[in-house]
Structure 1
């Protein structure tokens, strides 16, 4: 019993599994998730899509060039594409041409669309960072939960071993008449309770493990063993001061959720400018070269006129400028501008909501970290005192000065104290990790 109590405060130093098996640290889980998580990959696809949209917007300011060719078969009364007169004959012919179009002015619509696509691309990048931060935070919590379950399971197994050994001793004492069967019933009931508690912890551990595998995009068949934390860092973590005001001011400048909302706000503002461009005149220029031919066209000797000669003879060119002035569009364009202004208002509200959410969540993390420090200090002192108290109860029980119920009560207090202490160590470590993630992103 004493040997178990001596080693209990150092359990987080001891590997939970046998040597030779691959153990994943928290940093390993971060790295694997950033590489494999499907949500991250979808966010990257959104970035790629926005990058293509930006290229499309940039190329839209260039002139468009198109080549066309067609061939028709006509029967009965039709217009000859070469002579442009009505004929009652069966013939085949067609036309070919090259056209060039260039938008000279469209109310700066295309330029604003390019700027808009650039902000959309930045928003997509910040969205990915936001998703990464949320993912890593979830991994941190799952890792902490899984590690706590494994530590509690280890404590539970040790308690079961101790209870089993005690039962063996009790049976021997019952045979010699030194104890009654009442003592055996009490400890046997405790052993069954400890088995039930262990099953509960193991089930929760399996749920946490599957959750972590999902974050890492591991198959449910894949083995995943997590490594213990380095508790030597707890002293430095405990002595790390966090100024809430300074920390929040720093986070507000860099948090990806806020930056994403700000980029979306810029997209909405440019959407107003794009909509207003529909109210302005647009000017475009175009040019083209075209020709046509008739497969039945003949020359004076009755032979068919060569195709290249027909194309040269019928070659035509054109150039023009087009001015389009919107006079009345049944308020379609005006209402479009109003809708875009509403989008700007919504984007501003979204930015404010993002800031409020970040402030609230950050304050909560800071408060939880500070509480974890105080809890760690208090539970350490409580565990040490309960450890001494239990050792005294164990000695008294050996001397027959107390009953088994009193001993079990003392052990319950010690076990609860040990579990709370282990939980406070993990909570302090992982609360600090969550703050580091916020600062990193």
Structure 2
């Protein structure tokens, strides 16, 4: 009764799991890859890093252009101050304003700006390769996970088929057991076997759910997805390329190698940029300025008149007043625009900055950039070494899977025939349940191994294609 209850509960939970799975959207491999490229967060991070490099590149390119800056201000001054129009000290409320336009252009600085621009361009190209590498790795991971889901589905079907076979035998022995005509030990053996088969289904379903979770994480779609059951037929033919050929092709086209190579070239330009700090910098500058003051006045001539000076001259002991001719003026404010036009002044010149001593900053910067260059070279060599190791491992695993596939096919055929014979003998009472269960488990294990090695071969072939930039 406990076993019956367990089996009923197990099948109920299986129905619920399938009901939940059926609500997901079944997608093809191509659809999964498209969604992953659109929604995967790691790929988006790589693209954002590339955008930052693009902005840095534009900034370094724009740095080759001259700097042109304008300024304007207006203010109110109270108390003692200097009149910007006359440069006299005044003690009154004063409205002042000035404007200017300045140009600064670097003529030569040891090619620092040009090398910085080239360095930024190489960094941008490296970032583009990083995005391509991230995209290809994403495609590979989606493909491998998709195949693992298919493998898990095959294992679930195998486990369910084993359970049905065991259940059929248990139903046959049940009537004999109830009639007390059969061997009760064999009935109990089959009860134990059906519990094991049910547990295997639970385990394979858990594996399937785990792989589906991994696939949904990679795709990162708004709606949960699944993979429609698919019987995967593959042609197991001798692989056409050697491991060395795959590696040499990968050195030419693999984005990670290209990105490391570009990073090394950028580090070499960084050394040149640092060395430019030893070289004098020549620049051209020019300025245009003007100003306004509310204290500025325009004096208009109104004519002349004779006025007493207050002084006297004595002629023959008689005092005579001294008169003089005096010009009269009428003051008026000078308009704002007129002052700006009249007060224009310009300045142009060439500046030379010669580095004499800067606390060995230039020397240390060059030394640091050389270390970074050595690090970039080491990173490139490490990338190549890791790539070669990965190619050799994948190639060996592919070759092993290819060899094991033929052997396991023969094993499955042999165990299928053995199980067929033992099932007939068991049904006719010639053999016992122990021999039947051993034969059945041998066949089950062989079928599982064959399914695993089939997908292992497909996975390794995909990995080798990934290294050759063929995904």
Q: In the alignment, is the contact (CA less than 8 A) between 1:133 and 1:438 conserved in 2?
A: no
In the alignment, the residues of structure 1 paired with residue 254 and residue 199 of structure 2 have an alpha-carbon distance, to the nearest angstrom, of 44
1:362-381 matches, within 5 Å, as 362-381=391-410
Alpha-carbon distance, 1:140 to partner:
2.9
* Higher mean C-alpha displacement, 210-219 vs 172-181: 172-181
- Give the TM-score normalised by structure 1: 0.91
Structure 1: give runs of 5+ residues left out of the alignment: 1-15
Structure-2 change in CA distance of 1:227 and 1:92 (3 Å): farther
In the alignment, the residues of structure 2 paired with residue 151 and residue 57 of structure 1 have an alpha-carbon distance, to the nearest angstrom, of 56
Alpha-carbon distance, 1:438 to partner:
1.7
Structure-1 residue corresponding to 2:384:
355
Specify which of 155, 169, 174 is matched with residue 171 of structure 1: 174
Structure-2 residue corresponding to 1:4:
none
* Higher mean C-alpha displacement, 270-279 vs 22-31: 22-31
Structure-1 residue corresponding to 2:292:
293
Specify which of 112, 115, 119 is matched with residue 112 of structure 1: 115
Confirm or deny that 1:341 pairs with 2:370: yes
Superposed CA RMSD = 2.1
Q: In the alignment, is the contact (CA less than 8 A) between 1:23 and 1:227 conserved in 2?
A: no
Structure-2 change in CA distance of 1:50 and 1:227 (3 Å): farther
In the alignment, the residues of structure 1 paired with residue 428 and residue 290 of structure 2 have an alpha-carbon distance, to the nearest angstrom, of 117
Structure-2 residue corresponding to 1:122:
125
Structure-1 residue corresponding to 2:153:
150
Which is higher, the Rg of structure 1 or of structure 2? 2
In the alignment, the residues of structure 2 paired with residue 76 and residue 174 of structure 1 have an alpha-carbon distance, to the nearest angstrom, of 119
1:24-43 matches, within 5 Å, as 24-43=27-46
In the alignment, the residues of structure 2 paired with residue 26 and residue 374 of structure 1 have an alpha-carbon distance, to the nearest angstrom, of 27
Structure-2 residue corresponding to 1:311:
340
Q: In the alignment, is the contact (CA less than 8 A) between 1:285 and 1:322 conserved in 2?
A: yes
Specify which of 204, 223, 226 is matched with residue 225 of structure 2: 223
Specify which of 349, 352, 356 is matched with residue 327 of structure 1: 356
Larger helix percent = 1
Specify which of 201, 204, 207 is matched with residue 201 of structure 1: 204
1:66-77 matches, within 5 Å, as 66-77=69-80
Alpha-carbon distance, 1:54 to partner:
1.6
* Higher mean C-alpha displacement, 99-108 vs 33-42: 33-42
Alpha-carbon distance, 1:138 to partner:
2.2
* Higher mean C-alpha displacement, 136-145 vs 277-286: 136-145
In the alignment, the residues of structure 1 paired with residue 468 and residue 84 of structure 2 have an alpha-carbon distance, to the nearest angstrom, of 73
Tell me, what secondary structure is at the counterpart of 2:225?
Answer: coil
Tell me, what secondary structure is at the counterpart of 1:245?
Answer: helix
Structure-2 change in CA distance of 1:223 and 1:214 (3 Å): same
Q: In the alignment, is the contact (CA less than 8 A) between 1:126 and 1:256 conserved in 2?
A: yes
Tell me, what secondary structure is at the counterpart of 2:170?
Answer: helix
Structure-2 residue corresponding to 1:84:
87
Confirm or deny that 1:387 pairs with 2:389: no
Alpha-carbon distance, 1:165 to partner:
2.1
Instruction: Tell me which stretches of 4 or more aligned residues in structure 1 moved more than 6 Å.
Output: 16-21
Specify which of 39, 55, 58 is matched with residue 58 of structure 2: 55
Structure-2 change in CA distance of 1:163 and 1:393 (3 Å): same
Matched positions, count: 422
Structure-2 change in CA distance of 1:308 and 1:227 (3 Å): farther
Alpha-carbon distance, 1:299 to partner:
2.7
Q: In the alignment, is the contact (CA less than 8 A) between 1:60 and 1:110 conserved in 2?
A: yes
* Higher mean C-alpha displacement, 184-193 vs 26-35: 26-35
Q: In the alignment, is the contact (CA less than 8 A) between 1:43 and 1:127 conserved in 2?
A: yes
Structure-2 residue corresponding to 1:269:
268
In the alignment, the residues of structure 2 paired with residue 171 and residue 134 of structure 1 have an alpha-carbon distance, to the nearest angstrom, of 54
In the alignment, the residues of structure 2 paired with residue 384 and residue 20 of structure 1 have an alpha-carbon distance, to the nearest angstrom, of 38
Confirm or deny that 1:141 pairs with 2:140: no
Structure-2 residue corresponding to 1:400:
429
In the alignment, the residues of structure 2 paired with residue 266 and residue 367 of structure 1 have an alpha-carbon distance, to the nearest angstrom, of 34
In the alignment, the residues of structure 1 paired with residue 134 and residue 166 of structure 2 have an alpha-carbon distance, to the nearest angstrom, of 47
Confirm or deny that 1:420 pairs with 2:419: no
Partner deviation per Cα, 1:92-119 (whole Å, 9 max, x = no partner): 2111111111110111001101111110
Larger strand percent = 2
Q: In the alignment, is the contact (CA less than 8 A) between 1:79 and 1:85 conserved in 2?
A: yes
Tell me, what secondary structure is at the counterpart of 1:303?
Answer: strand
In the alignment, the residues of structure 2 paired with residue 164 and residue 227 of structure 1 have an alpha-carbon distance, to the nearest angstrom, of 24
Structure-2 residue corresponding to 1:5:
none
Alpha-carbon distance, 1:52 to partner:
2.1
In the alignment, the residues of structure 2 paired with residue 389 and residue 44 of structure 1 have an alpha-carbon distance, to the nearest angstrom, of 57
In the alignment, the residues of structure 2 paired with residue 391 and residue 293 of structure 1 have an alpha-carbon distance, to the nearest angstrom, of 110
Structure-2 change in CA distance of 1:234 and 1:385 (3 Å): same
Alpha-carbon distance, 1:422 to partner:
0.9
Tell me, what secondary structure is at the counterpart of 2:276?
Answer: helix
Tell me, what secondary structure is at the counterpart of 2:348?
Answer: strand
Structure-2 residue corresponding to 1:252:
251
Structure 2: give runs of 5+ residues left out of the alignment: 1-17, 300-329
